[in-house]
């Protein structure tokens, strides 16, 4: 297991898209908002926040503009959902944890938008929880 300062890497299921980032991460969280649930077709999504600066993408991907303020990157060959971007946080990219080469390095430290959480989504006792986003747009995480 590496520290937050070491390189992060991942890719899609078929290998068409690969990504790397030198670190450090900006945040690691589980989001329960409706947009994230629908975006990954699950009860919540686990994401690793990284500065856009430093992200290296290789391969061919597509962006889907989910709302006027947000988009999701995916592999057009296999459909893997790779990242989430929002105009609210223009200097961050949120990589989906399922794309990490070493997902064991990722340990979420908070649940956000729990006001939209579905009743069956597990939340471990003692978890840091936020009804909205834990960091407001424009604030440093």
CB atoms under 10 Å from CB of 55, counted, come to 16
Residues 60-82: pLDDT tens digits?
A: 999 999 888 889 999 999 999 99
Q: Return d(Cα 138, Cα 72) in angstroms, integer.
A: 20
Residue ranges of domains in the chain: 8-102
Percent of the chain with pLDDT over 90: 48
- The answer to whether the predicted template modeling score (pTM) of the entire model surpasses 0.75 is yes
Looking at 1.10.1740.110, 2.170.150.70, 2.60.120.200, 1.10.3720.10, the CATH number of the domain 8-102 comes to 2.170.150.70
State phi, psi for 57 to the nearest 5 degrees: -115, 135
- Those residues of the chain that have pLDDT short of 70 are 1-5, 132-141
**Unique residue bearing structure tokens 């471990």:** 124
**Are 96 and 30 in contact, with CB atoms under 8 Å apart?**
no
**Residue 115: count of CB within 10 angstroms of its CB:** 11
Phi-psi region of 74 (alpha: psi -120 to 50; beta: other; left: phi over 0): beta
pLDDT of residue 99: 96
């Amino acid at each position: 297991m590496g520290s937050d300062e070491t390189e992060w890497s991942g890719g899609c299921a078929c290998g068409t898209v690969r990504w790397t980032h030198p670190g450090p991460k900006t945040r690691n969280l589980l989001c329960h908002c409706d947009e994230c649930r629908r975006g990954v077709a699950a009860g919540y999504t686990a994401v690793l926040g990284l500065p856009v600066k430093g992200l290296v993408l290789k391969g061919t991907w597509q962006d889907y503009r989910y709302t006027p303020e947000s988009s999701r990157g995916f592999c057009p060959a296999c459909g893997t959902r790779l990242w989430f971007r929002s105009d609210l946080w223009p200097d961050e990219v949120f990589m989906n944890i399922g794309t990490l080469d070493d997902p064991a390095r990722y340990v979420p430290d908070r649940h956000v938008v729990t006001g939209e959480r579905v009743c069956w989504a597990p939340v471990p006792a003692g978890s840091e929880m936020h009804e909205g986003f834990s960091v407001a747009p424009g604030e440093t995480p």
